[in-house]
Amino acid sequence: MLGKGVFLFIKKFFRIITLNFTYTFVFAAFLLVSYVNYLENTGRADLFNFAYTKSEILKATNTRASVISIKDSNYDSLVFDQSELQPKGGPSDIEFADISTTGDDSMAPVLPALTTYASQNQRNEILTYTVKKGDTVSQIAAEFGITINTVLWANNLKATSYIKEGQKLKILPVTGIQHDVKKGDTVLAIAKKYKAKASDIIAYNKLPADGSLQVGETLIIPDGEKPRTYIPKRRTYAKAYSKSTVNSSKYYIFPVKGRKTQGIHGYNAVDIANRCGTPIYAAADGVVTSAKTTRSRARLGASVFGGYGNHVRIKHPNGTLTLYAHMKDVFVRTGQFVKQGEQIGTVGGGFEYINGRLYRMRGAGKSTGCHLHFEVRGAQNPMAKYWRF
């Protein structure tokens, strides 16, 4: 009977609770508190207590942070619902957490000391570098942050030159070229010579605003380029000419061997055809007044000097001038004195194969085949009467 009465009481109690929300909530809270007290009494949990963590890493700054420390084999592991926790730097007693923290608990990795090469620091002076075993020009240029050409130009080296251990190399502070000021030099002329900017030369070398120079001083030309020079591969003089090589005027010799393909045209000119690369000779003694070259493959335009392409002009003692155009190679320079019969270049004006494709030769100008365009200015062209030379 007692058991049945208890059962009826419990049944009636639960009916009342289910019908009243407030009673239900209070009952649930009672059960939760009872369960937590049970865990605490048995040593399984600690509510709102950081004592078991043995750590100062975390410090509650707001009562909304609820933490339960689970006491098992991992003594310091934390399970928490964090709403507002602020890290605080400090030592830790955790045996396996050997981590140094900064003031804001950021983990700073230990990095090797920063290494900088003195050669790469900004400098204005010219250095002397001693070549080590295994060094190459490209490696040295990369180490000092300059181009390979800068190293070559400063030391009068060619791209095919070798350097050896113990050799001394001059190293400029920036990419460019060195220039020693000579009498008559101006900043504008130097800038034009090396394809650089006058303002850069003034600024880098800390020159006066007017760009005045002192003879003998050394300038660094930032981003300057060495002027292109054409050095004769070989220079020959005609040992003797047969009667067929001297024309009837007895003043000019035939400038090239070949046959005439076009009579008088243009500025008193004739065209003499032969293979590209055939030697061209000075028709008479004289001074080279102009020796122009271009890398252009265009047929017309100012870039190829009005159609002449690579060409040479020679002023002769009798007041006349001869012009040699469509040259492949030019072996003389402006201002040079040449003797009659001296080789001044080779025949050009034709085409060449590059990677299997046919292209116009550099400096061919207005030409469609290998030949010499020969002009005589100030007199009749004596070559007009000949067909073979």
Give the tens place of pLDDT for each residue, 132-169. Answer: 988 888 889 888 889 888 998 889 888 767 788 899 99
The model's confidence at residue 109, banded by pLDDT at 50, 70 and 90, is very low
CB 132 within 8 A of CB 158: no
* Residue 30 CB partners (closer than 8 Å, separation 6+): none
Give the tens place of pLDDT for each residue, 281-305. Answer: 999 999 999 999 998 888 776 667 8
Burial class (CB in 10 A: 0-12, 13-18, 19+), 85: middle
- pTM here? 0.40
Give the tens place of pLDDT for each residue, 5-41. Answer: 777 777 777 676 666 666 677 777 788 877 777 766 6
Tokens of 308: 């002449």
CATH 3.50.50.60 fits 243-385, yes or no: no
Taking each helix axis from N to C terminus, what angle separates 2-19 and 21-41, rounded to the nearest 10 degrees? 120
The DSSP string of 38-96 is HHHHTTSEEET--GGG-BSSEEE-STT-EEEEE-SSSTT-EEEE-SSEEE----B--TT
- What are the residue boundaries of the structural domains of the chain, listed by start? 2-87, 119-222, 243-385
The neighbour count for residue 366, using CB atoms within 10 Å, is: 18
169 forms bridges with which residues in the sheet? 129
What CATH code is assigned to 119-222?
3.10.350.10
Judge if 119-222 and 243-385 fold alike in CATH terms: no
Distance, CA of 194 to CA of 227 (rounded, Å): 6
Give the tens place of pLDDT for each residue, 58-106. Answer: 444 444 444 444 444 444 434 433 333 334 333 433 343 343 434 443 4
The model's confidence at residue 312, banded by pLDDT at 50, 70 and 90, is very high
